[in-house]
Amino acid sequence: MHTGQRIKTIRAKHSLTQHEFSKRIGISPNYLSELETGKAKPSKPVLLALEHKFGVSYDWLVKGKGPESVQIDNKLNTEEREILSILRKNRELYQTVKNLSKKYIKNKKTLGNLSDKINISKEQALLLLTTVDKIKSRSKAF
């Protein structure tokens, strides 16, 4: 089995299309197709992206030796492993959690910036933003 076939195995395990998979590792679907068929060899950044995003062993990808997975699960507690398992099996849920996380991080930064600029606590900034949102939603109703 060549590296491209191992890449295809990883993609199949995650039930992703070539388009979805290539987007997650930052390459074009055409390049992924060439990799999977053995027409092209993956660059080191692609291999590292696979290792990072999918927990795949670099040595297994390149040489076909050793364990397929990097054992990041050993560092997780039982609850974290369970959540990770659920997210790996449910793409829609994964996307929802990812989007919510991004919004949370963005809002956290916004609250911090707002509280710094007008010299109020983050709690007061949250109350202010919530009130502004309520006013906006009420004004749209009229």
Distance separating alpha carbons of residues 122 and 68, to the nearest angstrom: 45
Residue 101's H or E segment, with its range, is: helix 91-117
| Structural domains of the chain, count | 2
Distance separating alpha carbons of residues 81 and 91, to the nearest angstrom: 16
Distance separating alpha carbons of residues 42 and 25, to the nearest angstrom: 12
Q: Which domain holds residue 115?
A: 77-141
pLDDT in tens, 33-61: 999 999 999 998 888 888 888 888 888 88
Question: What percentage of the chain carries pLDDT values higher than 70?
Answer: 67
The answer to whether 98 touches 90, Cβ cutoff 8 Å, is no
Asked if 7 and 66 sit in the same domain, the reply is yes
Please indicate whether residue 142 or residue 126 has the higher confidence score (pLDDT). 126
pTM of the model: 0.49
Asked if 39 and 94 sit in the same domain, the reply is no
